[in-house]
């Protein structure tokens, strides 16, 4: 396990929540039992059964004292005033599966603040498993409006109010190129869609939590402050994904710099403003061959989605070599025994029911229709100008797929 320590002796702790278990990427472990120093040189050394738990210096264990855990369990570890803890409640994709919820990241700060970045499909269940009072989970930041990034907002909104959030759910999100593509429009209509649900709770439950407090900010803001309270500053930068509108977030607190990329093609804003981050999260999509084999994408669709709309593993590696963070997190793929290796390789080159928790979508019943590039809504010139040149690192993937499927696909 890696522990990140600043010169001020503050620590950054990171956990990933990819299914029904928590996996620690890096943490500040509980302090081991410390042996009292000898009073003088004549004092006998401790017997083996008196040894301290610190195996890093003694190689011995106490028979009665707890050792540092190699896992994280909710409600078992204090968060110090100079600590930051990040828990990935979802790292997957739009297609739901039991093992892996879609994008959702919980950031906890030593000052008591908690922030949810994205709340994708399936993530509300993971948030609930952390047993955090919902009054503390009232700040949500949306990177964009795909359902794998805000599909469980209704569950957090209604379920959180029902379970004890006695205040409006505060949501920050980007505008769109048109008003109906913005966060405010989406949440106004989401609340309308919940009319029957909310009306049925009137007079039965505490009404204070069944309201949104929406802050919509300009998606074109570059390093623009969108939140500043309690010593925490959160900025946004444009991202490049599907349409105009997506953003990435930069959190600054207590000398720490945390960057959440959301979904984005590698871009100049992330390359500039994520440089030197203590922790940088950037998407790293499924390798194109796996998209074709497992998701049953057409080769054309896999190339377009996997390398142009999202960040390919090869491009993820190049982005991290540019920004050089202290710790980097790649997400947005189904983490299976046979997918993680290829992604890592490409980054470096750059009568009980029994269910498969690693399930991929079943085969389509009809032949998929080829996507029509002419139907795509183009980026604006301002957003398009932010694309970093990834053609060199992506071209081998195009060559591989074109050769295997007899195509002549070209990069944009």
Residue in the block written with tokens 């409600």: 75
Instruction: Report yes or no: 147 and 96 within 8 Å, Cβ to Cβ.
Output: no
Q: What are phi and psi of 193, to 5 degrees?
A: -65, -25
Residue in the block written with tokens 């959440």: 260
Q: Does position 337 have pLDDT exceeding 90, yes or no?
A: no
The confidence score (pLDDT) of residue 3 equals 35
Question: Tens digits of per-residue pLDDT, 139-160?
Answer: 999 999 999 999 999 999 999 9
The confidence score (pLDDT) of residue 53 equals 42
Per DSSP bridges, beta strands 224-229 and 232-238 are antiparallel
Confidence class of residue 336 from pLDDT cuts 50, 70 and 90? confident
Q: What are phi and psi of 113, to 5 degrees?
A: -70, 145
Percent of the chain beyond pLDDT 90?
Answer: 54
Domain ranges of the chain: 4-28+68-348
Question: Tens digits of per-residue pLDDT, 37-77?
Answer: 444 444 444 444 433 444 444 557 788 887 777 677 788 88
Q: What is the rounded CA–CA span in Å between residue 154 and residue 121?
A: 10
Q: What is the rounded CA–CA span in Å between residue 82 and residue 8?
A: 9
Which CATH superfamily, name and number, covers 4-28+68-348?
Ribonuclease Z/Hydroxyacylglutathione hydrolase-like (3.60.15.10)
The confidence score (pLDDT) of residue 277 equals 94
The confidence score (pLDDT) of residue 333 equals 81
Hey, what's the torsion of the CAs at 34, 38, 43, 44, to 10 degrees?
Answer: 30
Question: Greater confidence, 324 or 70?
Answer: 324
Question: Tens digits of per-residue pLDDT, 174-233?
Answer: 999 999 999 999 999 999 999 999 999 988 888 999 999 999 999 999 999 999 999 999
The mean predicted confidence, pLDDT, of the chain is: 83
Q: Does position 118 have pLDDT exceeding 90, yes or no?
A: yes
With vertex at residue 225, the alpha carbon angle to CA 216 and CA 333, rounded to the nearest 5 degrees, is 70
Q: What is the rounded CA–CA span in Å between residue 186 and residue 58?
A: 58
Handedness of CA 144, 148, 149, 151 (dihedral sign): positive
Per DSSP bridges, beta strands 104-109 and 83-90 are antiparallel
Question: Tens digits of per-residue pLDDT, 260-273?
Answer: 999 999 999 999 99
Q: What are phi and psi of 165, to 5 degrees?
A: -85, 105
With vertex at residue 102, the alpha carbon angle to CA 100 and CA 106, rounded to the nearest 5 degrees, is 100
Most confident by average pLDDT, 30-39, 74-83, 162-171, 286-295: 162-171
Q: What is the rounded CA–CA span in Å between residue 330 and residue 92?
A: 11
Confidence class of residue 352 from pLDDT cuts 50, 70 and 90? very low
Q: In three state form, how does the secondary structure of the chain look?
A: CECEECCCCCEEEEEEECCCCEEEEECCCCCCCCCCCCCCCCCCCCCHHHCCCCCCCCCCCCCCCCCCCCCCCCCCCCCCCCEEEEEEEECCCCCCECCECCCEEEEEECCCCEEEEEECCCHHHHHHHCCCCHHHCCEEECCCCCHHHHCCHHHHHHHHHHCCCCCCEEEEEECCCCHHHCHHHHHHHHHHHCHHHHHCCCCCCCHHHCCEEEEEECCCCCCEEEEEECCEEEEEEECCECECCCEEEEEEECCEEEEECCCCCCEHHHHHHCCCCCEEEEECCCCHHHHHHCCCCCHHHHHHHHHHHCCCHHHHHHHHHHHCCCEEEEECCCCCCCCHHHHHHHHHCCCCCCCCCCCCCCCCCCCCCCCCHHHCCCCCHHHHCCECCCHHHHHHHHHHHHHHHCCCCCCC
Q: Does position 18 have pLDDT exceeding 80, yes or no?
A: no
What is the pTM assigned to this prediction?
Answer: 0.77
- Section 161-167 average pLDDT: 91
Lowest mean pLDDT among 18-27, 85-94, 109-118: 18-27
């Amino acid at each position: 396990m890696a522990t990140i320590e600043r010169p001020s002796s503050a620590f950054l702790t990171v956990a990933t929540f990819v299914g029904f278990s928590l996996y620690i990427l890096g943490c500040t472990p509980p302090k081991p039992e410390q042996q009292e120093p000898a009073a003088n040189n004549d004092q006998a050394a401790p017997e083996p059964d008196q040894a301290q738990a610190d195996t890093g210096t003694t190689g011995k264990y106490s028979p009665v004292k707890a050792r540092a855990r190699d896992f994280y369990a909710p409600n078992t570890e204090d968060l110090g005033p100079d600590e930051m803890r990040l828990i990935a409640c979802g790292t997957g994709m739009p297609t739901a599966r039991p093992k892996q919820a879609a994008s959702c990241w919980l950031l906890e700060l030593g000052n008591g603040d908690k922030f949810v970045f994205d709340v994708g499909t399936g993530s509300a269940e993971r948030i609930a498993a952390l047993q955090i009072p919902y009054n503390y989970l009232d700040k949500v930041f949306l990177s964009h409006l795909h359902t794998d990034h805000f599909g469980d907002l209704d569950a957090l909104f209604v379920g959180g109010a029902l379970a004890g959030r006695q205040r409006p759910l505060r949501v920050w999100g980007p505008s769109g190129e048109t008003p109906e593509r913005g966060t405010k429009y989406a949440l106004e209509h989401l609340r309308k869609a919940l009319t029957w649900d909310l009306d049925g709770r009137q007079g039965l439950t505490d009404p204070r939590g069944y309201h949104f407090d929406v802050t919509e900010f300009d998606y074109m803001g570059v390093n623009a402050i969108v939140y500043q309270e309690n010593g925490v500053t959160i900025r946004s930068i444009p991202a490049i994904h599907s349409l105009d509108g997506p953003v990435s977030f930069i959190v600054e607190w207590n000398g720490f710099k945390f960057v959440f990329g959301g979904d984005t093609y590698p871009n100049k804003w992330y390359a500039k403003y994520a440089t030197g981050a203590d922790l940088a999260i950037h998407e790293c999509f499924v390798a194109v061959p796996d998209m074709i084999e497992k998701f049953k994408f057409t080769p054309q669709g896999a190339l377009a989605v996997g390398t142009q709309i999202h960040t390919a593993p090869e491009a993820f590696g190049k982005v991290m070599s540019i920004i050089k963070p202290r710790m980097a997190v790649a997400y947005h793929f189904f983490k299976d025994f046979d997918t993680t290796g290829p992604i890592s390789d490409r980054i470096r080159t750059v009568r009980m029911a029994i269910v498969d928790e690693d399930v991929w979508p079943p085969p389509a019943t009809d032949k998929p229709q080829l996507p029509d590039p002419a139907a795509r809504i183009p980026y604006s010139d301002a957003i398009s100008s932010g694309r970093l040149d990834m053609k060199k690192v992506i071209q081998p993937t195009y060559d591989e797929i074109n050769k295997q499927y007899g195509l002549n696909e070209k990069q944009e």
